[in-house]
Structure 1
Amino acid sequence: MAAAAAGTSSSMAQPMFAPRSSTPPFSRLSSLPRLPLLPPPTSSPLTPSFNLRISGSKKSLSYRIKASSEDTSETSEVGEVFSNLKEKWDALENKPMAVVYGGGAAVGVWLSSTVVNAINSVPVVPKFMELIGLGYSGWFIYRYLLFKSGRKELADDIEVLKKKIIGTE
């Protein structure tokens, strides 16, 4: 009985897929033409350049590093930023209020992020918000960017806003 069951199961185990080709998939890739590698653009004094030489089946890769005597370290810029921040902090008269404003801004960013994530969890609302955003973007482009008079008006509004923020108006 077990032999009969084994015989029937072996006769039923036939491949249900299309026959595979005799060539492995990677051998077909070797027939593609090889393209030369381009060196990366030179943007810093320590830029490696790559030379790829193919001779037969041997490949060699060489690096050439150009050194420069210029000191373009970013540590001096970071130091300047910190010194500027320290000067501005020392110039503040009401430091506790600045800390309260900074903390309030951090809490506001966290709270708005929480609200946006809650709105995104409702199924229909994110697509509706995208539609509103697209509509507003279209209106803004039509109102302020499409015509020369609108661009002039936008530039004037930005200047007035900058003057209000700086406090010269």
Structure 2
Amino acid sequence: MATGDTPAEVVTEVPEIVKSIQAAWDRLEDKHAVTSLAFVGAIALWSTSGMISEIDRLPVVPGALELAGIGYTGWFAYRDLVFKPDREALIAKIKNICYDIIGRS
């Protein structure tokens, strides 16, 4: 409540959020699939975070991955950013992807 809100203002905002979540939940047709997907996603997030922390503990792997990242960055910069025709092609490709996603240029 550092913004100056009184407790009454905060209490009136919470039900609106809860109501909007309930309305979104009621619009769903397959609630079991959404619940299962959320559960599987949480388990996948938990397991991948554990896997990444274990890989990070290996002595050679983080350095090798960092070296691979530096190498790819250098290769990308040389291939797409050094020469003007390559830069223009990259910009055109990015604009096309944005147009495909958004639908406007």
CA distance in 1, matches of 2:30, 2:92: 39
Q: Does residue 1:92 correspond to 2:28, yes or no?
A: yes
- 1:126–1:95 Cα change, 3 Å: same
Larger helix proportion, structure 1 or 2?
2
Aligned residues: 95
Decide whether aligned partners of structure 1 residues 122 and 78 sit closer, same or farther in structure 2, where only a CA change above 3 A counts. Answer: same
Unmatched tracts of structure 2, length 5 or more? none
Corresponding residue of 2:51: 115
Over 3 Å counting, the alpha-carbon distance change for 1:138 and 1:45 in structure 2 is same
76, 92, 95: which one pairs with 1:152?
92
* 2: CA distance, partners of 1:120 / 1:85: 38
Q: Give the aligned partner of residue 68 of structure 2.
A: 132
Higher strand residue share: 1
Q: Secondary structure at the match of 1:123?
A: coil
Q: Tell me by how many angstroms 1:116 deviates.
A: 0.9
Gaps of 5+ in 1: 1-43, 47-70, 164-169
| 146-155 vs 104-113, which moves further | 146-155
Report the TM-score, using the length of structure 1 for normalisation.
0.43
Measured after TM superposition, the shift of residue 87 of structure 1 is 1.9
Identity across the alignment (%): 30
How far 1:134 sits from its partner (Å)? 2.5
TM-fit CA distance, 1:133: 2.1
Q: Is the 8 A contact 1:119 1:126 kept in 2?
A: yes
Give the TM-score taking structure 2 as reference length.
Answer: 0.64
Q: Tell me by how many angstroms 1:88 deviates.
A: 1.5
Greater CA radius of gyration, 1 or 2?
A: 1
